Structure 1
Amino acid sequence: MTAPKTPKVEPSPNISASSSASTATVDVTPAATTNPAEGSSTNASALQVRTESDSAIVSTFRVAGDRPVYASQLAISETYSIAGSIRPIQASRQHVVEMMGDRPIMASGLDIGSTFQSSGLRPISAASLVISESYRSMGDRPVASNEIDNPVLLMGFLD
């Protein structure tokens, strides 16, 4: 198996000659696909490699070398300063319920049955898992189906 080839990217004229390394940006964008057999369309994720020459550099700023600033559609609601650098906070529709220090705790529709303490307080989702008595093994641990009730809600709690 061979490694995928990285596109060669020439430095932009807006970047000083001292910056010898150039990088490519990988965008994951939804792409509509149509299944002619079923007559339906779905949204799938498509990877696109965008090089510096594909984007217009708006300006540059100097932190550990000249870095390009690209024009984008992101809406920045505020900025956050950490370790001497200013980081943008993207505007979103998520609702912050509480702050744990500097970390936000977001509102969730996950129905929590109980919690346990292991490297922090961890939620146990209330679910309707059907445990088969015939497959109890490995230290009397229950075995259930791999079907997840609501994977979108669960993803925020996975490590």
Structure 2
Amino acid sequence: MHRDQSPLRPRSAPELVPSLLLDLDQMLDEFTRLPMRAKFRFDPGMPAVITVQFLAERGPSLIWHIGRELLHRGVTSMSGCGAVRMWPTLPGERPSSWLLLESEEVEALFELPTAPLTEWLDATYRIVSAEAEMDGLNWDGFLRELLDEPAAPSE
């Protein structure tokens, strides 16, 4: 199966919730912040996953796919485990959360403002509720792709 024809993603999905462009800080060390922007995108055809594109001033941008529920919970409490974790910062002037991303090649800690993220996530839940996130998935196609089996012949 061609990767553009994933059973988890429809061929086209309208952008019902505009992308969110957030100004955030990457923590380079305990005292050094690197201001940057990230673009959060919601696809109603794949509502459980938010695509986050970290826009570098120089060089290529970095794209991560993060669970919508993880982000939603992370603005108020510890959320996630493993490669992606998010939790609120200590109370201060502006409410914010830490987002930690880890892979074999990269470890990055970001501080992001929670108010605009929360408002944007709430808008995504008005389009597709948490209870309906998995309704449109083609589980047979997903399992075939996961197990790298050939697709069933079409009639």
TM-score, normalised on structure 1? 0.22
Higher normalized contact order (CA 8 Å, seq sep 6+, divided by chain length): 2
Determine which structure has more spread, i.e. the larger CA radius of gyration. Answer: 1
Structure showing the higher helix proportion among its residues: 2
